[in-house]
Amino acid sequence: MSLTQHLHRPGPIRQWWASRSTALGPYVADLARHDTSAPPLSVAGREHAAAVGGIVGRIIETRVEPAPPYAAILGTGRRRDATLWPTHAELASTAEAAAAVEWRPTPRGWRHLVPGRDHGARSTDLRTAAGIETSDATDLIERARAAAIVTSLETAYRSGQPATPVTPEAIADAVAIIRRQQQSLQRATYLCGGELQGHAAPVFAPHWADGDVLLGPGRGGTYGLVDVKTVGDATLTNPERVRGWLWQLLSYAAADADEDLWRVRAVGVWLPRQDALVMWPLARMWEDLRAQPEELAALLRTAYEADYRAAIGAQR
């Protein structure tokens, strides 16, 4: 299981959060205030919305950091394919090139974080996406098409199903959403000290807990962990759904409490369809919860180790 699955299934982690969710009421309300401004998508249905969200999320990731699509490479490419993107290009001539996707830039330097394997089945598609995403001559529509390739491959990796092309309608909806990003981009840029930067897909536990975007460093040298949620207004007024986002964000932050690799001092939700970025200081949230992150971190560590042992056993 992944951490997200633990949050949705009965068990110690979900029980820990369920007993503290009342304290998250003000934060749930903060997000609900943005429920009046999202234009509808062109096609109804969860599959279409997920594809649009994947494209939008990938474009935002690459604006923050020109990094490889880690999940797509791990599931369908070769580990060396990561060197096609600017963040990892410097590894191309090193001993780490053959396993480049396993290495990640962090606020504390390069770290070997995520073991992987070479699949290679869709390396040609990844090369096509890299050529578009790393070119200064491509426009937003072309970048959205590249993000659609990445979204298709990442969806296949996570679902275990064959990759299917993303529809033109999903690409068009994503382009329209990205073009509306003004206030949220300004807010993100301000939080980064005047230049949009940070890290894509921060890893809190290999193959178990990956975030969306880490914004920073800010003026204090620390970072904000952000989930990108390309959802409609109705979802923002669903307290159970929104609480789940906060559980996940805070669980990721707690998983990093001991090592402090990612230097997370704030968490937030980027709402592209509403053009809003909502952030909160992490210390205040733990104070409101009347809990210490180390307490949750111990539960997470136990669950991760059990899942890891189960995965190793299944491979034998």
Residue range 231-267, pLDDT digits in tens: 999 999 999 999 999 999 999 999 999 999 999 999 9
H or E element that contains 39: none
CA–CA dist 164, 211 (Å, integer): 24
The residue among 229, 172, 224 whose CA lies nearest residue 197 is 224
What is the reported pTM? 0.96
In a 3-state reduction of DSSP, which class is residue 25? helix
Nearest to 293 by CA among 267, 259, 254: 254
Residue 290, CA distances (Å) to 79, 99, 280, 296 in order = 43, 42, 16, 12
pLDDT over 80 at 37, yes or no: no
Contact 280, 267 (CB under 8 A): yes
Listed as own residue / partner, the contacts of 2-10 with beta carbons closer than 8 Å and 24 or more positions apart are 2/207, 2/208, 2/209, 2/307, 3/204, 3/205, 3/208, 3/209, 3/248, 3/251, 3/252, 3/255, 3/300, 3/303, 3/304, 4/209, 4/248, 6/303, 7/244, 7/247, 7/248, 7/251, 8/244
Interatomic CA distance for residues 103 and 110, integer angstroms: 7
Q: Report pLDDT digits (tens) over 163-211.
A: 899 999 999 999 999 999 999 999 999 999 999 999 999 999 999 999 9
Tens digit of pLDDT for each residue in 89-147? 999 999 999 999 999 999 999 999 999 999 999 999 999 999 999 999 999 999 999 99
